[in-house]
Structure 1
Amino acid sequence: MTLALPPADELGVAGRRMRCRIAGDGPPVVLLHGIGRTLEDFTAVHAALAGDHRVHAVDLPGHGGSAPLDDPHTLPALATAVAGFLDAAGVTGPAHLVGNSLGGAVAMRLAADAPERAASLVLVNSAGFGREVTAALRLLSVRPLARLLLRPHPAIARRTERAIFHDPAHVTEERIATALAAARQPHAARVMLELVRDLGTWRGVRPEWRAELLDAVAALDLPTLLVWGDRDLILPAAHLAHARTRLPKAQSHLFRDTGHMPQIERAAEFEALVRRFWSRSGAAGPV
């Protein structure tokens, strides 16, 4: 097993390296991954959408091949870093923001803080809609357990990948190797702990930041698509009902027999769903 991140591009943002993949021409799209993950979680969708969009996938600060921040890693700090990345990439107008898990919360924070940057939101099994979260993340807030759970060990990486997907066929050696390569970055454990403790406790996701963020997003009246997998073991599909309540104008879709990453397990259907949403919401360019 080769433990190295797949080849990608880099941009300098505020003097720091941000690993990214940029391709295509057309309306800009930004793909944001989850906690402890990398831009590889959007590989298939990135390639499909790049046929007629300018697609930007990026490793969030301290994740994958992107350098960590000097300040603590918090949701607002990640959103600010993504805004800096878009400036460096020459994205001056509104972009379609697509976020999975933590990436969904980052997309919402960016839209709330800088509405001019957001053409639409696609929130995929997104953080921010409920307290419940996998025990593995809750236990990271318990200091004696955190370092043990964050060891870059093949068995831990395999178990994590298995929890993400409903279909075990997606738990490939390539994905496990990428997860291990990301976990072996010298700052990876610190970044993970800072985010987990900023966003939650051993009881679950903190309600304060969720309430404020959802109020701010609801006030934007931005075209929004909520997507979930019904077999999600990380953020349960019950969150989708609350998301529909908090964002009543949003469109939504529940994928059957699908885990935490519909953009991988249902890649073709996910792409078609997103394209229909952009077209019907009036937010899309030519498709």
Structure 2
Amino acid sequence: MATHLKILLLLVFLVLVGLGAGAYLLFRHPLAVNAARERLSLRLSGLKPVDVATSVGTVRAFVGGSGPTVVFLHGAGDQAGTWSRVVPGLASRFRLIALDLPGHGGSQPRTGPLPMDVVFQGTRQALQQLCPEEPVTVVGNSLGAWLACLLAREEKRVAKVVLVNGGPIQGHYLGPTLAPKTREEAWEVMKVLMGPSGAAIPGFILDDVVRAGQAGPIARLLQALNSWENYVWQKEELGKVTVPVFLLWGEEDRLFDRTYAQKLLDAFPHAQADWLAGCGHIPQRQCPAAFSQKLLQLLSAGS
């Protein structure tokens, strides 16, 4: 009996230690904990991690499902798990590829400035190996939308693009820094990204946003800001993308707002837009139900 009691106490102690460690990690590194949860969700939805060798280093992708191929590209500072609440409704109808962009998530390079040509070439080479022949639809959020346009111009395999709050032309953003140094600056930039409908964010999460902004992929992209110019298009260049273009836009976004989206609509031949009310810059995470419903309609049209 004494032995059983000791074992029980030991188990209780281990559970308490585990809970305490989990609480500490959540408090100190909430963004990493959330990313881990999202990436686990991708795997539970049937997507398996695959490492692809490219000239810029190994690129991590999550691949699964069956049917026409859909590629997901996240935004700056994010990772493939951003699509975790969208994937479950699509995996039974489409082959899905969710990439960690070079320098993000599980993809190399891990350190140093992150020039745009590294991001683009690593993405392009990974997709050339993951889907070498079949036509693909590319769904890109923010920086991912910019890359989707670049891929559509350079790669014949791209049959359709869905731009989610981003694109290849220069914006007119004049708001707070995207690399905040204080909790107050972090809150201001989160309001820009989420819009008025965004929920209040606890201080410990804002503190982690500051840490990520100073040392994460966004900081590394900003260190190579001069490399972006060669990849920014003039408005008239949008006509070089001849495949169908759809905009799926969180209309409360203040980084790439509705005025920016309208410029894309005016310049892309035959572009169409769906506006997501109450959603900001990352609608797949902020309002996944409305986003998933619209995306499924776009993907199913003509498939």
Q: Do they superpose with TM above 0.5?
A: yes
Q: Please provide the CA RMSD for this pair.
A: 3.4
User: Are residue 227 (structure 1) and residue 236 (structure 2) matched?
Assistant: no
- AA aligned to 2:173 is V
- AA aligned to 1:164 is L
Structure 1 residue 67 displacement after superposition: 1.3
Please name the residue that 1:144 is paired with. none
Structure 1 residue 127 displacement after superposition: 3.0
| 3-state SS in 2 of match to 1:222 | coil
User: Are residue 108 (structure 1) and residue 164 (structure 2) matched?
Assistant: no
Deviates more, 1:163-172 or 1:40-49: 163-172
User: Are residue 241 (structure 1) and residue 262 (structure 2) matched?
Assistant: yes
Higher Cα Rg: structure 1 or 2?
2
Please name the residue that 2:233 is paired with. 210
Distance 1:124 1:188, change over 3 A: closer
- AA aligned to 1:14 is T
Counterparts in 2 of 1:1-287, with a 5 A limit?
1=27, 3=29, 4=32, 5-6=35-36, 7=39, 9-14=49-54, 16-68=57-109, 73-114=114-155, 116-137=156-177, 149=179, 159-166=188-195, 167-169=197-199, 171=201, 189-194=219-224, 196-199=225-228, 209-211=232-234, 215=237, 217-280=238-301, 282=302, 284=303
- Cα distance in structure 2, aligned partners of 1:104 and 1:64: 18
User: Highest relative contact order (Cα 8 Å, sep 6+), 1 or 2?
Assistant: 1
Q: How many residues align structurally?
A: 261
- Cα distance in structure 2, aligned partners of 1:97 and 1:163: 26
- Cα distance in structure 2, aligned partners of 1:28 and 1:160: 34
Structure 1 residue 82 displacement after superposition: 1.2
- Cα distance in structure 1, aligned partners of 2:200 and 2:247: 23
Structure 1 residue 101 displacement after superposition: 0.9
- Cα distance in structure 1, aligned partners of 2:205 and 2:91: 22
Structure 2 residue ranges without an equivalent (≥5): 1-26, 41-48
Structure 1 residue 125 displacement after superposition: 0.8
